[in-house]
Amino acid sequence: TAGITQAPTSQILAAGRSMTLRCTQDMRHNAMYWYRQDLGLGLRLIHYSNTAGTTGKGEVPDGYSVSRANTDDFPLTLASAVPSQTSVYFCASSEGRLTDTQYFGPGTRLTVL
């Protein structure tokens, strides 16, 4: 199975423009997550969804929004990009219990100029 797919692989975006990062999983996992990875800071949670129809804020949610219309898809939207949002973005999913492993997608490298 494909697991988790993310699109695009990379993107250069002008500041002030909007963009949606796509994430799709085929494991029928209940929970999905968006992280950003920055050098020296590790991974930080942006938003999460414990089940379709619900979302929650993570550690660094400002400037980002998410939706969870169905089980498989969890898009992340930047309404008006700023250079500080230059990062590598990872989507993850899990069955949803505290003991469950999170599985990660390949990532999207975003550069905001």
Partner 1 sequence: AQSVAQPEDQVNVAEGNPLTVKCTYSVSGNPYLFWYVQYPNRGLQFLLKYITGDNLVKGSYGFEAEFNKSQTSFHLKKPSALVSDSALYFCAVRDRGSQGNLIFGKGTKLSVKP
Applying CB under 8 A, which residues contact partner 1?
A: 4, 33, 35, 40-45, 48, 58, 90, 92, 98-99, 101-107
Is the Cβ of residue 58 or residue 63 nearer to partner 1 in the bound state? 58
Min CB(80)–partner 1 separation in Å:
26
Is the Cβ of residue 4 or residue 78 nearer to partner 1 in the bound state? 4
Q: Strands 76-78 and 64-66: what pairing?
A: antiparallel
Reference 54, options 62, 66, 44, 43; nearest CA is 66
Distance CA 42, CA 17 (A): 26
Min CB(23)–partner 1 separation in Å:
11
Q: Where are the alpha helices (H) located in the chain, listed in sequence order?
A: none
